[in-house]
């Protein structure tokens, strides 16, 4: 008896995806609800669970193929997987585009008969680790992210970073040889590119800057971080301060938290905060909802959870939907200043940057203070310059005097 494996519902308005990776090979035993494939959509990576227990049968599509919701992509046969011969996978058409996965990773996975999760697979590629030389500590000996990171720190033998897609690499490259590699953009990267360009083409983008003295926030954090973590079970970071400060500013200047829909302006009496985080396939912006009602601990927990799931490729469509205002922290990568692009249909985004000691004047004296540049990019069609500048100044003042966050000033 055979069971069809179909592409699951992927979310509102999502009708197709790209088959990113097969997690099971024909002939392998499969448990019910066990992930057997990963799909890449416009926003997130989605795992396809097995509809029934049995043996992995024929793979009807190849990695890199586009599949529609409801399409049959594989079969699961009855049995235990110990004596069933492996069915032959569908052949790859000669003119089909090369899969996104590199030939290095494919070679390693095939030679070791490994099953890597999407997050582990991406980490292996990023760090250049040969998975056949790393012992897995997960279920059934599978590799985990911690295994790969430990191998990287321990100096595990590294695999070549890339290989030409068109032809096998020579055993030894000649000195000064120039190479190129052509890799198809992932569906997520294509969507990111389109949305960012659409934002530039549609919105009247403008950026206003300010700088903020981080002394007060850093002092408060250092004073209370141990007791905060002991009570709430989460570390006290800077993002919760900026989230609360943003809520203060958005309350006073509702246009910064509004959206244009047709010939109408939609104002929100709530703040659904999109937090830009780095995921294996690119930048994503999951949403923390009703931030204006949350305390510091709740904000830190929510952001930490979304960040972890983004790195693990475990975000859902619901995590990405909505959002009225965005905070992007380029400072974690060392960025000193930038002009962030808004996340449509939102009208503004706050850009944070690295903290560095700089000379400033205080009471007529030159002193050294930990300073950060702030950038607020906004849609000038809906937000006037006065509103944008004053909103950013409100955020600056709240960070420099956190007491304002407590008394709503």
Note whether 14 and 67 are within 8 A (CB).
no
Burial 360-385 (b: 16+ CB within 10 A, else e): eeeeeeeeebebbbbbbbbbeebbee
Read out DSSP for 230-297? Answer: HHHSS---SHHHHHHHHHHHHHH-GGGG-EEETTEEE--SS--EEEEEEETTEEE--EE--GGG--HH
Map tokens 């923390």 to a residue: 288
C-alpha closest to that of 259 among 250, 251, 267:
267
Q: Identify the H or E element spanning 54.
A: strand 54-59
Structure tokens at 232: 């709430």
C-alpha closest to that of 206 among 394, 18, 386:
386
Structure tokens at 271: 């703040």
Give the C-alpha separation, 301 to 384, whole Å.
34
User: Which residue out of 33, 380, 401, 408 is catalytically annotated?
Assistant: 380
Give the C-alpha separation, 63 to 262, whole Å.
40
Map tokens 């006290």 to a residue: 236
Asked about 226 being catalytic, the answer comes back as no
* DSSP conformation class of 64: T
Burial of residue 34 (CB within 10 Å: 0-12, 13-18, 19+) is: middle
Structure tokens at 320: 């990405």
Q: Identify the H or E element spanning 46.
A: strand 45-49
Give the C-alpha separation, 256 to 246, whole Å.
10
Backbone angles phi, psi at 152, to 5 degrees: -65, -40
Read out DSSP for 345-394? Answer: T-SEEEEE---EEEEEEETTEEEEEEEEEEEEEEETTTS-HHHHHHHHHH
Asked about 380 being catalytic, the answer comes back as yes
Catalytic residues: 380, 384
């Amino acid at each position: 008896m055979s069971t069809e494996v179909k592409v699951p519902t992927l979310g509102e308005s999502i009708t197709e995806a790209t088959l990113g990776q097969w997690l099971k090979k024909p002939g392998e035993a499969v448990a019910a609800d066990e992930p057997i494939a990963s799909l890449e959509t416009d926003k997130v990576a989605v795992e396809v669970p097995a509809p029934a227990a049995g043996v992995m049968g024929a793979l009807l599509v190849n990695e890199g193929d586009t599949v529609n919701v409801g399409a049959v992509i594989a079969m699961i046969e009855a049995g235990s997987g110990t004596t069933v011969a492996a069915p032959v996978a569908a052949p790859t058409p000669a003119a089909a585009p090369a899969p996104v996965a590199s030939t290095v990773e494919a070679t390693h996975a095939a030679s070791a008969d490994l099953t890597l999760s999407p997050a582990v697979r991406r980490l292996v590629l990023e760090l250049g680790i040969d998975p056949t030389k790393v012992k897995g500590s997960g279920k059934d000996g599978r590799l985990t992210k911690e295994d790969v990171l430990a191998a990287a720190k321990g100096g595990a033998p590294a695999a070549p970073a890339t290989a030409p897609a068109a032809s096998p690499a020579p055993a030894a490259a000649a000195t000064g040889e120039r190479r190129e590699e052509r890799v198809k953009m992932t569906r997520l990267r294509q969507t990111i590119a389109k949305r960012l360009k659409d934002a530039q083409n549609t919105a009247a983008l403008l950026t206003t800057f300010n700088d903020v003295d981080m002394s007060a926030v850093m002092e408060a954090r250092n004073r209370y971080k141990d007791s905060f973590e002991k009570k709430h079970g989460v570390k006290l970071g800077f993002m919760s301060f900026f989230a609360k400060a943003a809520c203060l500013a958005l309350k006073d200047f509702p246009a910064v938290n509004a959206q244009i829909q047709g010939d109408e302006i939609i104002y929100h009496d709530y703040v659904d905060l999109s937090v830009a985080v780095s995921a294996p396939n690119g930048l994503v912006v999951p949403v923390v909802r009703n931030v204006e009602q949350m305390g510091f601990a709740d904000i830190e927990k929510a952001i930490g959870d979304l960040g972890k799931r983004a790195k693990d490729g475990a975000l859902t469509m619901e995590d990405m939907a909505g959002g009225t205002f965005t905070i992007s922290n380029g400072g974690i990568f060392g960025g000193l200043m930038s002009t962030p692009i808004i996340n449509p249909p939102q009208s503004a985004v706050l850009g944070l940057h690295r903290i560095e000691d700089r000379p400033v004047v205080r009471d007529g004296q030159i002193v050294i203070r930990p300073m950060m540049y702030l950038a607020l990019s906004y849609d000038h069609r809906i937000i006037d310059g006065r509103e944008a500048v004053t909103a950013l100044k409100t955020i600056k003042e709240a960070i420099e005097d956190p007491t304002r966050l407590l008394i709503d000033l």
